[in-house]
Amino acid sequence: MDPLPRSCAHRATLDLQRLAAEDAPPADAQDFADARRGFLATLPDAQVARADGGAVWSLQAYGFLDEPAAPDTVHPGLWRQARLNREHGLFQVTERIFQVRGFDIANITFIETDHGVLALDALTCPETARAALRLYREHRGDRRLHTVVYSHSHVDHFGGVAGLVDEAEVRAGRVQIIAPAGFLREAVAENVMAGVAMARRAQFQFGHTLPIASDAQVDSGLGKNMPRSRPGLIAPTLEIRDSHETHVIDGLEIEFQLTPDSEAPAEMHLYVPSQRALNLAENATHTLHNLCPLRGARVRNALAWSKYLHEALHRYGARTDVILAQHHWPTWGGERARRFLAEQRDLYRYLHDQTVRLMNHGLKPAEIAERLCLPEALRQRWHARGYYGTVSHNVKAIYQHYLSWYDAHPANLQRLPPVPAARKYVQYMGGADALLRNARLDFERGEFRWVAEVMAHLVYAQPDNAQARELAAAALEQLGFQAESATWRNAYLLGAREYREGAPPAGPAAGQAMLAALPNELLFDNLAMRVVASRAGDLRCDLAWHFTDSGEHWLCSLSNAALSSLRVEAPQAADLRIDTDRATLDALLLQTLAPAEAVARGKLRLSGDASLLARLFALFDRFSGNFPVVDSADSPTLDAHHG
């Protein structure tokens, strides 16, 4: 047989790319015109560096996107989106509204008020946010930034706030931060409780550990990539709590529409009447979005999402001349804006209703995903294509939302774990040699989905089988080249690389930069999640915490390897009382301060059995963030009872 292709398209992929080009929506330059409209200035390749000179963000490596025609290794629809997402700089949207796009995966929107400026969102990290604000001020004057609005609770919309304002200014009341109800809990809970697993899975969604090249990472669907720095968080000073609220901020009237449990658990739209401008946060962008992202998250409510867009259309549509969002480019013109909004509404309503209909006929998630496709009118609209989310995994998310992971077949109630199941599969298929021969023939026929599935079994059963790993990688690579969704492409191509090279080295655990922002309740929940059961054994104890900075009292009870915490009004009887402040506890948990030193400095006072604090800290697990994905993570040392 011919050698397996590497970094080039198989003939079956060439055929698929040709068919995809023929099936694409009509050629339309309007998106490119909109993406460039109002351009004022930029930096070369949008380059942003840290204080030490290290690169945080740059579009320089994406120079290959200058070519209008897609190469064989990229789906033509995704190539078009990747070229649009390369546009960068400061853009004027209306008389008072400006956006910096292409300096991060998200946009930052500056809205000029009577005596200053409001920033809508703060990008992912301080460096990109600071660069965006500097670019805005260079061309619009040194306006005072008096308000930051977080449109929703995802990190690429708040993580750079320290690059815009100083926390001391917020505490002093000189800067206000506005967010939708529930923002703080949702923002920190997502990034702390499941942060390590989510960060590792996000590598596959965004492809930021892949090379940037036409046979590797080309885009993320919503934008180019993730910046290479750490996010932070400053707590809001004002929450929007009613479904609709109107506020006048430094002379500028803004109407807020809450949209909880849509694209984020805490999210809101903004309408600026004087500008006839509607900002839809991340609920209507130039792609079909995710109802459950590949990185993992709580499943989003497609029905609620659609209804919020329907409400926005009827509440604001007749008063709107431009729609913009916190990703991609605006849509100008009342009629065009209303059509865009109506079609985005229809996307999520259609997927919801048709999935639920077929679900009630007894079809299983994979069967619905294989059968369902969008109506032709939506398929022929560029903004409704699946560059980020896909019909396939959105259907499965809707099914999960209503009926859980279980597809009702009793055989799936307690399936074997991957490794023992894989060994049985390989045995039943006639052994590794027979499996490789048959899979290689299927690969030559272009049956890459099946080859990837059976090779996953063989690699689980025989992790050191080099032929199996290379065939698995080759199949995933072709699936990546064929994918219109940037997230699917990134997942396939990173999977292929890890079959060939293994998992990456360990990085810093996710969530540490946000530890100080955690309310005490979430902090104790996070600690409880980290208890290693076998270390706890039969230890039973009560610990009474008194936080000297906030005055809060908490009682933590450990029994049966479960740590339960409760805020109480006054100190309770306990085996150990701990008096400290939150900053000291955070430093102890991050191991930047030793308990003995904290006691010596008067930062920590222990009353009772002082040994219990060290015993408690010794129970906590630590995560490396580089667990295997295409290889098995199964290990007896991770068992809930035995390690």
Residues 382 and 315 in one domain: yes
CB atoms within 10 A of CB 596: 10
pTM, rounded to two decimals: 0.95
**Residue 592 covered by a domain:** yes
Mean pLDDT for 451-465 is: 97
**Residue 249 covered by a domain:** yes
Please identify, among 365, 400, 435, the residue that sits at the C-terminal boundary of a domain. 400
Residues 233 and 158 in one domain: yes
Q: Is it the case that residue 616 has pLDDT exceeding 90?
A: yes
276 and 320 Cβ atoms separated by less than 8 Å: yes
Task: Give CA–CA dist 547/521, Å, rounded.
Answer: 13
Residues 297 and 206 in one domain: yes
User: Mean pLDDT over all residues of the chain?
Assistant: 95
Considering Cα of 432, then 434, then 440, then 443, what sign does the dihedral take?
negative
How many C-alpha atoms does 358 have within 13 Å on its Cβ side?
A: 20
The pLDDT assigned to 511 comes to 52
The pLDDT assigned to 518 comes to 84
**Residue 542 covered by a domain:** yes
**Residue 313 covered by a domain:** yes
Q: Each residue of 270-294: pLDDT tens digit?
A: 999 999 999 999 999 999 999 999 9
Task: Tell me which residue has tokens 């010596």.
Answer: 600
Residues 535 and 437 in one domain: no
CB atoms within 10 A of CB 181: 17
Please identify, among 345, 367, 400, the residue that sits at the C-terminal boundary of a domain. 400
Q: Is it the case that residue 194 has pLDDT exceeding 70?
A: yes
**Residue 601 covered by a domain:** yes
**Residue 555 belongs to domain with CATH number:** 3.30.1050.10
23-32, 42-51, 251-260, 514-523: segment of lowest average pLDDT: 514-523
Quickly state the pLDDT bin for 509 (edges 50, 70, 90).
Answer: low
**Residue 451 belongs to domain with CATH number:** 1.25.40.880
Quickly state the pLDDT bin for 156 (edges 50, 70, 90).
Answer: very high
Report how far apart, in Å, the C-alpha atoms of 465 and of each of 6, 319, 469, 493, 618 are: 18, 63, 6, 20, 39
The pLDDT assigned to 640 comes to 45
Residues 473 and 524 in one domain: no
Task: Give CA–CA dist 525/515, Å, rounded.
Answer: 12
pLDDT above 70 coverage of the chain, percent = 97
**Residue 226 covered by a domain:** yes
**Residue 585 covered by a domain:** yes
The pLDDT assigned to 634 comes to 62
Mean pLDDT for 499-527 is: 80
Report how far apart, in Å, the C-alpha atoms of 44 and of each of 18, 41, 59, 327 are: 35, 10, 9, 21
Residues 434 and 551 in one domain: no
The pLDDT assigned to 3 comes to 85
Residues 146 and 54 in one domain: yes
DSSP readout, 274-320?
GGTEEE-TTSSBSB---SS-TT--PPP-HHHHHHHHHHHHHHHGGG-
Q: Is it the case that residue 510 has pLDDT exceeding 80?
A: no
Residues 369 and 430 in one domain: no
How many separate domains does the chain show?
3
Q: Is it the case that residue 214 has pLDDT exceeding 90?
A: yes
Quickly state the pLDDT bin for 206 (edges 50, 70, 90).
Answer: very high
Residues 114 and 87 in one domain: yes
Quickly state the pLDDT bin for 514 (edges 50, 70, 90).
Answer: confident
Mean pLDDT for 522-527 is: 93
Quickly state the pLDDT bin for 642 (edges 50, 70, 90).
Answer: very low
Look up residue 153 and give its amino acid. Answer: S
Residues 232 and 90 in one domain: yes
Its domain, for residue 438, covers 418-482
In 519-594, alpha helices (H): 520-529, 533-536, 582-589
Please identify, among 400, 434, 469, the residue that sits at the C-terminal boundary of a domain. 400
The pLDDT assigned to 572 comes to 92
186 or 508, which is more confident: 186
Residues 387 and 422 in one domain: no
Q: Is it the case that residue 508 has pLDDT exceeding 70?
A: no
Quickly state the pLDDT bin for 512 (edges 50, 70, 90).
Answer: low
Mean pLDDT for 112-136 is: 98
Q: Each residue of 34-90: pLDDT tens digit?
A: 999 999 999 999 999 998 999 999 999 999 999 999 999 999 999 999 999 999 999
The pLDDT assigned to 250 comes to 98
294 and 204 Cβ atoms separated by less than 8 Å: yes
List Cβ neighbours of 590 (8 Å cut-off, separation of 6 or more).
Answer: 512, 515
91-95, 311-315, 628-632: segment of lowest average pLDDT: 628-632
Q: Is it the case that residue 636 has pLDDT exceeding 90?
A: no
Q: Each residue of 345-390: pLDDT tens digit?
A: 999 999 999 999 999 999 999 999 999 999 999 999 999 999 999 9
**Residue 630 covered by a domain:** no
Q: CA nearest 229: which of 96, 58, 344, 86?
A: 58
Quickly state the pLDDT bin for 641 (edges 50, 70, 90).
Answer: very low
Report how far apart, in Å, the C-alpha atoms of 393 and of each of 121, 222, 525 are: 28, 17, 30
Task: Give CA–CA dist 246/223, Å, rounded.
Answer: 31
Quickly state the pLDDT bin for 435 (edges 50, 70, 90).
Answer: very high
The pLDDT assigned to 352 comes to 98
Residues 565 and 472 in one domain: no
Tokens of 339: 């059509």
The pLDDT assigned to 639 comes to 47
pLDDT above 90 coverage of the chain, percent = 91
Mean pLDDT for 314-325 is: 98
Task: Give CA–CA dist 39/49, Å, rounded.
Answer: 23
